[in-house]
Amino acid sequence: MNDRIVLTYHVSPEDFTRAGEASSDVKNKLKQMGVSPSAVRKVAIAMYEGEINMVIHANGGDITVEITPEKIVMILKDVGPGIADVEKAMQEGYSTAPDHVRSLGFGAGMGLPNMKNYTDDIQIDTKLGVGTTVTMTINL
Amino acid sequence: MEAYTHSVYLDNDLCTGCTNCLKQCPTGAIRVRDGKAHINGKFCIDCGKCIKVCTHHAKLSTFDSLNIINDYEYTVALPAPALFGQFNNLEDVNIVLTALILMGFDAVYEVGSAAELVSEQTRSYVKAHPEQWPLISTACPTVVRLIRVLFPNLIEHLLPIKAPIELAAEIARRKAVEKTGLPPEKIGIIFISPCPSKVSYVRNPLGVDQSAVDGVVAIRDVYKQILPYMKQAENDPMELSDTGKIGIGWSISGGESGGLLSDSYLAADGITNVQKVLEDLEDQKFETLEFIELNACTGGCVGGVLNVENPYVAKTKIKRLRKYMTVAGNHLEDVPVENLFWTHEVEYEPVFRLGTNMLESFAMLNTVERLTAKFPGLDCGACGSPSCKALAEDIVRGDAEETDCIYIMKQQLNQMYHDMEANIKSKKS
């Protein structure tokens, strides 16, 4: 197991104040690793968006981050409602976030699009009523 | 990294090796080794937090003594606006300025005056550079140092305009040369400072090659001497001040932003809050803001450790003092200023990187993770490192050992005891 660093985080539901803790921790580790600032920025944005998504839509979930010297893979797994139309959800500005979430300044419909824009690869495995697993890869 | 002289140091005799500063240092720069606190100069950003929290007064700050006045033929005092928040019932800034002259300075130039010029330049710079929004203020050197070592992605947002202290020093020297005809080096420009961070700034400036400030004295040292002179100055103060609301407001959190005459800003103070804002900024949480004002000290510069007055009381005094002032007494069109902009870029210094290259750092980080899982997670500080994770990093760097953790040591002692017991039993039987 020495060829990779595996980090796990639990994202608690409906807790916006704690969202961002996981991305912050990963960010600091990448800085200690000497990863380029632009890669750190991409990871920070993609992961924070993912965390927020899990809080808003999926009652939280679990994040596994695998770091190797070549790449960072973030696996965000939830047992939420699933995404009905992935293609639509990837469109900028499309959002199904409820009003109370929007009133907090979230839910602008930029979550998944940003995650796509800031990563080298994104895979979305989703099933209605079962949950969603988003796997994002950023090459280092 | 260039040699960097800090202004925070330790009095070994007073240090008891407790964990107060260790636990509160925002960059984890302190270790207790052999019963004494040590500051890692690579990580220290001169915020002064350890000075504030040390219950034994063992953490000190270097600055010049007031005798520095005698080292020059002509001296100009540069009072930070925070100075005016230190006095009871002060109604006229001119009383303080006149008292500085009576104390022995040949002239005064308010840093607040230069701050008004910086505000004016910032207004037009912010408007002209939406691609850099939000621009982050660079007046607090501790904030700039923090960004330089921990937030490389935010360096491009730094406002590349000289800090008021620097601009004030340049203007004051030029005025003094014009007035006296003396060569510039015979003139001493002495800043009256609320914090040790500015002392470090003068030695290792940010954004410029060399600071125009010649010496830094502490507000609290000036305070002790100035009171009788203020009594004397009260009756007939000279008209020396030209600072308005904006300039004097720079001493409190939100003051610099106030000078921008725009609502699109955020002002945070206190080093922990500043760090949180920078973290959020890195995750692009406030893209729509134009300006971010950050002050390492609580309340702004009035919270600096070299002040006398409680920061909140000082803030109230500043607010009362500026109530009837004009908005600004200084404008760029009236003051010939050669260059308001930085002449040197601030570059990322990855001091927290574990190894010399990415592969080595990766391997070290891997070991850190493994070690951290082994430690109890109490973050007690008894090992001399601020947290279990920091101990793991110190071990990986070769600066500590696993048995520095008292929990691990206890485990090992227990094991030894059991082994011995088993050994004796087996011999008996």
Residue B118 belongs to a domain: yes
Q: Distance (Å, rounded) from C-alpha A10 to C-alpha B133?
A: 33
Q: How many domains does chain A have?
A: 1
Residues B236-248, mean pLDDT to the nearest whole number: 96
DSSP B252-301: STTHHHHTTT-S-EEEEESHHHHHHHHHHHHTT--TT-SEEEEESSTTSG
For the stretch B46-56, pLDDT in tens is 999 999 999 99
Residue B54 and residue B190 in one domain? no
Least confident of A45-49, B113-117, B243-247: A45-49
Could you tell me the residue range of the domain that residue A45 belongs to? 5-139
Per the CB < 8 Å rule, is A23 touching B369?
A: no
Average pLDDT, chain B: 94
Instruction: Report the gap between the CA of B349 and the closest CA in chain A (Å).
Output: 11
How many residues belong to chain B? Answer: 429
Residue B9 belongs to a domain: yes
Task: With H, G, I as helix, E, B as strand and everything else as coil, classify residue B50.
Answer: helix
Q: For an interface test with A, give the residue of B283, B354, B367 to mutate (most A CBs within 10 A).
A: B283
Q: Residue B4 — pLDDT band, cuts 50, 70, 90?
A: low
Residue B53 and residue B77 in one domain? no
Q: Residue A111 — pLDDT band, cuts 50, 70, 90?
A: confident
For the stretch B72-118, pLDDT in tens is 999 999 999 999 999 999 999 999 999 999 999 999 999 999 999 99
3-state secondary structure B315-375: HHHHHHHHCCCCCCCCCCCCCCCCCCECCCCCCCCCCCCCCCCHHHHHHHHHHHHHHHHHC
Q: Residue A1 — pLDDT band, cuts 50, 70, 90?
A: low
Q: Does A45 touch chain B (CB under 8 A)?
A: yes
Q: Residue B42 — pLDDT band, cuts 50, 70, 90?
A: very high
Q: Which residue of B283, B354, B357 is in closest CB contact with A48?
A: B283
pLDDT at residue B1 above 70? Answer: no
Residue B90 and residue B173 in one domain? yes
Interface of B with A (CB under 8 A): 150, 152-153, 279-280, 282-285, 348, 350, 352-355, 357-359, 361-363, 365-366, 368-369, 393
pLDDT at residue B3 above 60? Answer: no
For the stretch B277-295, pLDDT in tens is 999 898 877 768 999 999 9
Residue B364 belongs to a domain: yes
Residue B92 and residue B18 in one domain? no
Residue B212 belongs to a domain: yes
pLDDT for B125 equals: 96
For the stretch B314-367, pLDDT in tens is 999 999 999 989 999 888 888 777 789 999 999 999 999 999 999 999 999 999
Q: Write out chain A residues lying below 8 Å of B354, CB-based.
A: 32-34
Residue B7 and residue B82 in one domain? no
pLDDT for B287 equals: 66
Residue B361 and residue B215 in one domain? no
pLDDT at residue B175 above 70? Answer: yes
CATH number of the domain bearing residue B45: 3.30.70.20
CATH number of the domain bearing residue B170: 3.40.50
pLDDT at residue A93 above 90? Answer: no
pLDDT for B101 equals: 98
Residue B123 and residue B9 in one domain? no
Q: How many domains does chain B have?
A: 3
pLDDT for A58 equals: 85
Of B239, B199, B306, B197, give the one whose Cα is nearest residue B93: B239
pLDDT at residue B29 above 70? Answer: yes
pLDDT for A34 equals: 92
Residues A107-114, mean pLDDT to the nearest whole number: 76
Could you tell me the residue range of the domain that residue B8 belongs to? 1-61
Per the CB < 8 Å rule, is B350 touching A7?
A: no
Q: Distance (Å, rounded) from C-alpha A93 to C-alpha A51?
A: 18
Residue B345 belongs to a domain: no
- Indicate the pTM of the whole model: 0.91
- Which of B27, B61, B95 is a domain's end point? B61
Residue B5 and residue B49 in one domain? yes
This complex has an ipTM of: 0.83
Q: Residue B2 — pLDDT band, cuts 50, 70, 90?
A: very low
Residue B241 and residue B381 in one domain? no
Residue B278 belongs to a domain: no
pLDDT at residue B191 above 80? Answer: yes
Residue B33 and residue B84 in one domain? no
Cis before B134? omega within 30: yes
Residues A47-73, mean pLDDT to the nearest whole number: 91
Residue B187 and residue B83 in one domain? yes
CATH number of the domain bearing residue B429: 1.10.15.40
Q: Write out chain B residues lying below 8 Å of A32, CB-based.
A: 352-354, 361, 365, 368, 393
Residue B296 belongs to a domain: no
Residues B202-223, mean pLDDT to the nearest whole number: 95
Q: Write out chain B residues lying below 8 Å of A2, CB-based.
A: 363, 366
Residues B292-306, mean pLDDT to the nearest whole number: 97
Residues B357-382, mean pLDDT to the nearest whole number: 95
CATH number of the domain bearing residue A89: 3.30.565.10
Residue B88 and residue B209 in one domain? yes
Residues B233-253, mean pLDDT to the nearest whole number: 96
Handedness of CA B97, B100, B105, B106 (dihedral sign): positive
**Tokens found for residue B63:** 């600055």
Q: Which residue of B279, B354, B357 is in closest CB contact with A32?
A: B354
